[in-house]
Structure 1
Amino acid sequence: MIDNLSAHLRTVTRLTFFFLSVCFICWAVFPAQQAWWGGLVVGTVASLVNALHLAWKVDSIGARAAGGGVGRPSLGFFTRACIGLLAVVIATRTFDFRVEGVAMGLFVAQLATLILGFWTICRRGRMQSLDERGENN
């Protein structure tokens, strides 16, 4: 299970970096909308940091549960919300980027994770055996 998580996280990271490269190319090609593309880049980086933090928390909660740990685990929503807020502050106070672009960028890694999950489910459904006895499942 952990190997699946790291493989999916690696794929999401690659998709996010691909999206970032597209954003940087659009930033260079369309200089009139640099504030939008810059906000999208800052939001996307914050989204990737949030995804990595959430994966680390899920892994640590799983290890704690497997080890019979006690206590109330949390997924760190407050920390992830603060990362998003920090992205907004950096984009508006430091670089004068658009907040709307940051808000759109904050969903990129999560959307990539959702699309990857649907793709995996569809691929797994196509790989099901048509054998009557189910020996190859």
Structure 2
Amino acid sequence: MTKANLLYPRKERVRKKQASPNFKAAGKSIEQRPESINKRDNSGDFEIDTVIQTRAKNECLLTLTDRKSRYQIIRLIPDKSADSVNQALRTILQEYQINSITADNGTEFSRLSDVFDPEHIYYAHPYSS
């Protein structure tokens, strides 16, 4: 019998995504982040992410959120590429004091070290929020 023949077919379980065993982060792991950043002691430690807009063709939002004060810096960038992220980050760095950046493992954040000190860039675990 096939699933199509059944009166009440069972739903298949959705498999959870896992990182490949030979995955290597673009920089330092979130595990190496200093305790002062984890405890949110100081202002200036930011988390960076992109938000894709549904109606726009390629445009997306670059968001930086301060871990202590929850202050957000939001910029509209033309596409979700590393070049666009780095260009927007250059203009943000001229206006704001940023001590450290925590990013996910997206391709748009793979070249953050071109703009920001790689000693203070931390990458989250793959497939974790």
TM range (shorter): under 0.3
Flag the structure with more relative contact order, 1 or 2, with Cα contacts below 8 A and sequence separation at least 6. 1
TM-score (norm 1): 0.26
Relative to its length, the structure with more strand (as a share) is 2
**TM-score normalised over the length of structure 2:** 0.27
Q: Between Structure 1 and Structure 2, which shows a larger proportion of helix residues?
A: 1
